[in-house]
A and B are shown apart, each in its own frame.
Chain A
Amino acid sequence: MRWFGFGFNAFGQIYVHDKLIKGECSDAVNEIKVISPTELPGNADCCWETESQIRASWSRRAYLQLHGDSCVWLAGFGAVLSNESCSSCMKESRGCKDAFITESYLTLAFPDRIESWDLQKEEETPSWSMEIKKESSGPPLNLPLVPGGYIATKAPFYRSLSPHLKAKSLALSAEHAILLSASGAVYTWGLGSHGQLGHGGLTSEEEPRAVEALWGMPMSCVATGSWHSVCISDGGDLYVWGWNETGQLGLPSRGLRKALQLQCSQQAVAVSSKNCNTNSTGTGAPCQDGSTSPKEPQEGEKLDEVFISIQAFPALLDITPSCEIRTVSCGSRHTAAVTTTGDLYTWGWGDYGQLGHQNLISSDEPQRVEFFRERQMCVFDVVCGPWNTFAAVIKEEVA
């Protein structure tokens, strides 16, 4: 399995540029924003069959090798600066089977215990730990789920979950949570101000509440961004809900169009007006007045297009051409989905290159990442950090 990363790289979490190794401040914009999928270093020596996982926080990337003597390699802020393969792995992580990383903590799941390590301090012992009683019938470890509950992103870390939820997987943002049960039901709780709970309103929920709109349709995968939620049905359909201000739901976004217009008008001085017209809410007027506020669409240009800024109920997202989704992951304001035919689609915030379309343009429409298709690479998995994306590629074409 080879991993490719793109997007935010200010801490070298995708790759480390030579200047950073020498201790110089990076001046180059293109080293901080990686717009073209770049293979992660350190994998070249490991064989194709090595099973691995990536976990990413804002400033770091954890590479979890699961084959044989499993352990975690950390890259990014505070890590040893090197592009050499298989450089120092985190010794405290030897033998771990799963990892979960936030900006402050790295949580490791071992067969007999769970440990949370404070990434801001260099300590000999974990900040928090719990033992796991060995039960042969227990579900496989799936952080942030732990036996009896889950590890939250802030104190108190351990939160219990009712066993009748039969939690199978859990996705967390800073303020909301989405849980997938063994029966395929989806529960959400936390802050609802941006519709991210999917119950049709903006109110918050203190306890897990079933997303009734999805009742009767078993789901197989759940993911959260900072203000949005997504899940995949057994049949490979993608459902989205929450905030769409930056197009992260893949639905028409007024906020995004305005931001693109604004970017356009600020850069427009030397560029002819032809290049500036976006194809839906373009103003038609030359963007050269340097105005710093978004323009209203002119009379007669008010299209039939319905913009969605908050989607409070789950909506089915059609990723054209129609295809089945295998897995999905979300950054803070972008979404990435892998189809069963090995293609990667991304949409949402693109300012740091995290969409992988080799530009810095945000999009409210799912678009295929052509880089992989051009090289006949089959994308198998995707994991998003808040502002970047990591795609796993395997050798053969999957039918």
Chain B
Amino acid sequence: MATLWSKVSAVLPLNEEQFPLQFGDKVESSVVEMLKRSRQQLYSDATSASRMLNAQIILDFSWEKLNTGTWRHVDKEWRRVYSYGCLFKAAALCREDPSADQLLQAVRTCDMGLLMGAAIMENILQVMVRILQGEVKSTKEQDESEHPEVKRIKIECPRVFVIKEDSAVPRMKCPSLECFNTNYLLPLKPVILEGIIDHWPALNEHPWSIEYLRSVAGCRTVPVEVGSRYTDEEWSQTLLTVNEFIDRYILNKEEVKGVGYLAQHQLFDQIPELKEDIRPPDYCCLGEGEEDDITVNAWFGPGGTVSPLHQDPQQNFLAQVVGSKYIRLYSPDDTDKLYPHQSQLLHNTSQVEVENPDTERFPEFAKAPYLECVLQPGEVLFIPVQHWHYVRSLELSFSVSFWWS
């Protein structure tokens, strides 16, 4: 049976000479020197401590660059350097018969590179994490300490919503491209599309459930939003493994107060197995962009997660896979009654709490017409570009959004 290291080194270049280290001018020669030292240690004898230290130096230096200036302006070269640091660190961790904890650290390290770095060596971090995940799973199977999952999911009965007919989002079952284009896309009108994701493996062969997500992505690190809504002072982001997120915020095992939401994360780029369970809606081809330009985000959380009323600069198909969400929509024509924040950072977000509006501060809000719905599994909501939308999950929920133009 091949050792972990033999599997890992099989995907690395054969030797130092074939290991590329090319960077733009912005990366100073002293940094390249450190990268070369790490590369050399990959193919020669060195202590584990020394390998870890050199990798950490590369990570610390590039981390500082990644946190300098605005994220948009961070030179891609520094993100590549960061990824190399992750590669060297993960390699060092799994070099010498790693413990279970070291294995998890290595997975986390690869994830940090995937989240914050830029692709290197034909996305080698993705290749590595797949190998490491396989190793994590097989060591888990060896553990006999399997406790049946204590189902401590709060029994939530979603409040039975009465959606009035004249404020309900219209519904259509499998409209033709032309019909959708003429009646909804061009006039920018919201609609719920039924039946268009019935074929998704996520709803058929691989029904998404907590157990399934744990098995496919349990040890992977993801960004989680903590706090009731992103306009709150207490709101923050943290990094957790999917297992930790499920334990803490879905199953509430640790009785932590507060809401956690795996929100607006390109999970499907990070975990290709999940990408295979979904398909971009065919209607996206009606736009001008390429299929590669569609941004796909995961939205996974317990009941009670709230996205405050806001607008986005692209068309959106919001596909509901697990659980249900209450959604309210306002037209951009009524923006004057929605009191957007003045600041640059939040000018796309309304100041009003939709389900508990302060009528004194926001008197016009009550006059703004809206459409609303409860989105159920298998349904897809079309949110036209710049259409204001408010979303609250009514129970454990997993949605997938497609931003396209």
Contact = CB atoms under 8 A, between A and B. Distances in A.
Interface of A: 10-11, 25-29, 32-33, 58-60, 77-78, 103-104, 120, 174-175, 191, 193, 226-227, 266, 269, 290-293, 296, 299, 332, 351, 386-387
A26 B29 CA distance: 18
Interface residues of B, number: 34
5 contacts: A33-B53, A77-B33, A226-B64, A226-B67, A292-B105
A77 B101 contact: no
A120 B28 contact: yes
Interface string B47-77: 1011001000100110010011110000000
A32 B29 CA distance: 18
B47 A27 contact: yes
Q: Is the interface of A mostly helix, strand, loop or mixed?
A: loop
Contacts of A33: 53
Given A26-B50, A77-B30, 13 more contacts: A10-B57, A29-B49, A60-B30, A77-B33, A103-B28, A120-B29, A174-B68, A175-B69, A191-B69, A291-B244, A292-B108, A293-B239, A351-B60
Contacts of A291: 244
A27 B60 contact: no
Given A10-B34, A11-B30, A32-B53, A293 B241 contact: yes
B30 A59 contact: yes
Instruction: Name the residue in A25, A33, A226, A299 with the highest tally of chain B Cβ atoms < 10 Å from its Cβ.
Output: A25
Contacts of A120: 28-29
A59 B34 CA distance: 10
A59 B35 CA distance: 14
Contacts of B143: none
Contacts of B33: 11, 59, 77
Interface of B: 28-30, 33-34, 37, 40-41, 46-47, 49-50, 53, 57, 60-61, 64, 67-70, 99-101, 104-105, 108, 239-241, 244, 254-256
B101 A290 contact: yes
Contacts of A28: 50
Contacts of B241: 292-293
Contacts of A77: 29-30, 33
A290 B105 CA distance: 10
A293 B256 CA distance: 15
Nearest to A77: B30
A299 B258 CA distance: 13
B64 A27 contact: no
Contacts of B101: 266, 269, 290, 292
Given A77-B30, A77-B33, A296-B254, A27 B68 contact: no
A174 B64 CA distance: 10
